[in-house]
Every structure is written in C-alpha cells, then in structure tokens.
Amino acid sequence: MNDVQHLRSALAGRAFGPHDDGYESLRRPWNLSIDQQPALVVMAESTADVQAAVRVAAGAGLPLAVQSSGHGAVHPCDGGIVVNVSRMTDLQVDPGAQLARLGAGQRWRSVLEATDPYGLIGLSGTAHGVGVVGYTLGGGLGITMRTFGFAADSLLGADLVTADGELVRADDAQNPDLFWALKGGGGNFGVVTSIDLRLYPVPQVVNGMMAYPGARAAEVVSAWAQWTQHVPDDVTSIVMLVTIPSVPEVPEPMRGQHLVMVLATVVGADTAALDQLRSQLGAPLIDTFAPSGYLRAAMSGMEPEDPSTSAGRSALLTSLSEPTIAQLTAAGGPNSPISALEIRHLGGAAARAPRDSSAIPHRDAPYLVAMHAAPADEAQAATTVDLMDEALAGIADDTRVGMFLNFLHHGSTTDEVRAAYDPATYTRLTEVKRDYDPGNLFRYNHNIPPAT
C-alpha cells in the first residue's frame, strides 16, 4: 500500500484522488487562477483526520496545502495532499462571555447568523463567503475595523496540528509565541482546527454606499480623502472605482456603468459624517445607506460570491496626494481591465493595539489601495498585472513598503512575503516557524521559511 492509499484507509472523512467522482470540483479552490492537480484532496471531518494527513505528508515528503473556502489559495499543490477543512464546522456561541468557538471550516455568513440573535457580531470583512480562520490568521480587515481593530486582535486562542502531527493549544498562557505568530502570520505554523473569537455587542449599524458617475472619480476620491481626516472611529469606509457588469442580476440604473462609490459602515446610528460627505458631493446616483442589524449589512457587500479567477496588486499608502488620486483614477477608469480599484481607510482602533501584541505589521498606515481583476486567461492576467504594477510605480511617492497577508497577491514570492513585514516582526516569525515547522511543511501559503 502506498502512502496515499494508507492515508485514505486511516481517515474518517472521504478523500478524492484524480480517478474519483467529485475530484474535479474539489481540486479547485475558489480562486480559479490556482489550477492545481493534487494527488489527494482530504475532506477532513475531525482533528484526527488532519493529524493523519499531516503525518503522512510529512513522512512521505509530499506537498501539503490547507484549504477552507479557497478564497486565498496562493500556490498550486500539484502532486500533493490538500487538507480541505471545510467540513469542520462546529460552532458554539457563548453570549454571556461574548465568545464564539468555531471550527476551521466556518465561513463568516454562518457565524454571523449564529451570533445575530444575541445582538453580537464578529469582525467580518467585505465578503461573507470567506473562511473565518484563514481571514483571521491573515489579519482580518473588517468593515468595522476602525471601531474594533483587526479580526486577529480578537483572536483569543487556537487549536492547531503542527508539523509533527501533534495537537497544540496557542493562547496567551500556552505557547504565547505561537499565538503571537498566528495573529497576522497566516497558515505557516500548522493546520488550525478551531479558534476562539471575541464577539462585540452591536445592536445597530448604518451601512450602504453612495455612487457617483465615474467621470467624477477624482473629485469624489479627493473629497473622501479629506473627509477621512476627521471622521470618528465608528466610521469605516472604502472608496471604490468599479465598472458594474452588464448582466440581468444587476438593477437597471447600475448596469454597465462606470461608477465611483463610497461604501461605509457606521457602528451605531449617527449619520452626521455620512450626511456631511453627501452634502458636499451632492445627490448620489444611487444611495443605499440605511440603518440595519449588522448581519444584513455584512450580507450586502459588493464582492463576487461565485468562484472566480483573480489578479491583484495592492499597496499601503502614507497619504493620498492629488497626483496619486489622478494616477489611481486613471488606472481604474472606464474600460480598464482592473474591474475594481478600492482604497480602504485604516486607522482608528486598528492603529491603537500595542505593536508587539501580534504579528500584524504597519498598523499606522492610513490607507490601503487594492486593485482586482478577473482575467479570462493567463495572457490577460499578465497584461493586467503589468498595468497594476505600472499604476503602483506611478504613486511610489505616496506608498510605503509593507502589506497585510490578506492583501498579498497569489503566487507571492518569499521576498514579497518578507517585505510585507517590518524586519523585527519577520525575524521573530521565522524563529517561531523554526520552532514549530522546521522542515517548512506548511509552505503552500504566503510562506515564511524557518530561521536557519
């Protein structure tokens, strides 16, 4: 019996090889640009399944990748084992303690549905289909991040299977270095089987977007940038240039239009900041701002839900000067292959957590720009990425080195991952990696090699 056959027989969950029905859909992550041909996809049902897969991969020297929703797949795991944790969906909400304990396969939608009846929220991002664990390990920039900080700041503990197949607890009391690294260091240290997350009481938000014609992009981005200088921490916002697809699912007034939008979530009911921006810019073409519960707001994001190809580039901004605004609005202009160009306003509570409380770098960056596309093929992906790189080169005076893992593009090199962090944080991450994964078994990710 070879190693892969041996693993199949040791599992409670099912495993799919190239000759099995179901393999074709399971081998593909949500990000369809990662076209991988693993030897086996293990649909893990339990920690024991994860341990079996890790031990076999480590023992046989096989590549091993971890996948939950597949939104953040980074490198194709050809010929190896994909440990798919999407069926590990245990979920317990403790409303009194304002905590959730959730399995590695949980996505934001179901977690928020479970916390909503208690008036509690988790710190989700712009897409409810994203996996909670992968999102949190990569920092977790949420739609209320200026009020409550990064999602990783609300991570209270994790259980994970490390490279030797052992189940380890990481929290403030047990393996604190590992716990520190998990908060921003991504999937480099093991397969996380469950996490404990802090929840927040939020009875109401005001959420939505106001859209203006794309022809006014530079003016709207400039006004938004000024506005962000003095909005309170209960306002988290994004300005976005987007060409709306011309498809029947999109309401008529938006179909095919090139728009500039301000998307925002206000924690509470105070609309004064939104009113001020609206009165400065004049009546929007579309204005969806309304009070609601958080769940409804989190479900009404503009992100694609179906699996998609992806090409992207992003950068941290130190400021938003007029020349930078001109460059970015040109890059995201009508007929651009960049289907969405967003600038996120950071800061607030996200900037206030102590620097050494986590491996999240660059808390003081005020803005992040991210460009997204769904290219039809590799040639289009290459030309689109060239265009994105050109746009970033053109705004170099307003950018700084660094990134959050969740916004690093797929296919990232070791040098690009190193550059995402400040040197001290990166060095410490490589040392934790050496302690828990000296052979770099977990490398199909934004990889941090072990210190030598």
Q: How many residues bind ligand FAD (CB under 6 A)?
A: 33
| Residues forming a β-bridge with 205 | 267, 292
Sequential DSSP letters for 16-56: E-TTSTTHHHHTS-SBTT-----SEEEE--SHHHHHHHHHH
User: Among 140, 157, 214, 284, which residue interacts with ligand FAD (rule: CB under 6 A)?
Assistant: 140
Q: Which of 13, 63, 122, 139 binds ligand FAD (CB under 6 A)?
A: 139
Please identify, using beta-carbon distances, which residue of 263 and 281 lies nearer to ligand FAD: 263
Quick one: which of 76, 80, 134, 165 contacts ligand FAD (CB under 6 A)? 134
Which residues inside 269-328 make contact with ligand FAD, applying CB under 6 A? 303-304
Member of 126, 147, 175, 358 binding ligand FAD (CB under 6 A): 126
138 binds ligand FAD (CB under 6 A): yes
* Residue 71 makes contact with ligand FAD by CB under 6 A: yes
Instruction: Please state the separation of Cα 121 from the chain's center in Å.
Output: 17
Instruction: Tokens 């996996």: give the residue.
Output: 131
Which tokens sit at 403?
């990134």
Q: Does 264 bind ligand FAD (CB under 6 A)?
A: no
Residue 110 structure tokens: 């179901």
* Helices 322-331 and 378-394: angle between axes, nearest 10 degrees: 170
Task: Rank residues 142 and 214 by Cβ distance to ligand FAD and give the closer one.
Answer: 142
Does 68 help bind ligand FAD (rule: CB under 6 A)? yes
Nearer to ligand FAD among residue 81 and residue 281 (C-beta): 81
- Give the dihedral sign, CA 171/177/180/185: negative
Sign of torsion over alpha carbons 249, 254, 258, 263: negative
- Which CB sits closer to ligand FAD, 74 or 178? 74
Select 70 or 281, whichever has its Cβ closest to ligand FAD.
70
Nearest-angstrom CA–CA distance, 424 and 417: 14
What would the x/- binding string for ligand FAD be over residues 90 to 119, using CB under 6 A? --------------x---------------
Stretch that binds ligand FAD, among 123-131, 162-170, 252-260, 427-435 (CB under 6 A): 123-131
**307, 32 contact by CB (below 8 A):** yes
Q: Which stretch binds ligand FAD (CB under 6 A): 18-26, 60-68, 229-237, 258-266?
A: 60-68
β-pair type (81-84, 40-43): parallel
Cβ distance to ligand FAD smaller for residue 154 or 327 = 154
Told to check if 429 binds ligand FAD by CB under 6 A, we report no
Of positions 11, 16, 27, 29, contacts ligand FAD by CB under 6 A:
29
Give me the count of residues in the chain. Answer: 452
Whole-angstrom Cα distance, residue 223 to residue 225? 5
Q: Of residues 64, 74, 102, 381, which one binds ligand FAD by CB under 6 A?
A: 74
Give the span between the Cα atoms of 354 and 291, in whole angstroms. 32
- Inter-axis angle of helices 47-60 and 3-10, nearest 10: 170
- Contact call for residues 291 and 204 (beta carbons, < 8 A): yes
* Cα separation, 450 vs 374, whole angstroms: 33
The least distance separating ligand FAD from the CB of residue 401, rounded to whole angstroms, comes to 19
Provide, rounded to whole angstroms, the least separation between the CB of residue 185 and ligand FAD.
10
Q: Nearer Cβ to ligand FAD, position 109 or 428? A: 109
In angstroms, how far is CA 195 from the centroid of its own chain? 16
Stretch that binds ligand FAD, among 111-119, 133-141, 318-326, 357-365 (CB under 6 A): 133-141
* Contact (Cβ atoms closer than 8 angstroms) between residue 225 and residue 181: no
Per-residue contact flags (x/-) with ligand FAD for residues 389 to 428, judged by CB under 6 A: -----------------x----------------------
Distance CA 151, CA 440 (A): 26
Q: Is 360 in the site for ligand FAD (CB under 6 A)?
A: no
Distance CA 22, CA 338 (A): 33
Q: 3-state class of 405 per DSSP?
A: helix
Least distance in Å: CB of 408 to ligand FAD? Answer: 9
Pseudo-torsion of CA 435, 354, 228, 264, nearest 10°?
Answer: 60
As a whole number of angstroms, the distance between CA 241 and CA 326 comes to 12
Interface with ligand FAD in residues 433-452 (CB under 6 A) = 445
Identify which range of 19-27, 91-99, 120-128, 167-175 contacts ligand FAD by CB under 6 A: 120-128
Residues of the shown chain interacting with ligand FAD in the complex, contacts defined by CB under 6 A: 29, 66-74, 85, 104, 125-127, 130-131, 133-135, 137-141, 186-187, 191-192, 303-304, 406, 445
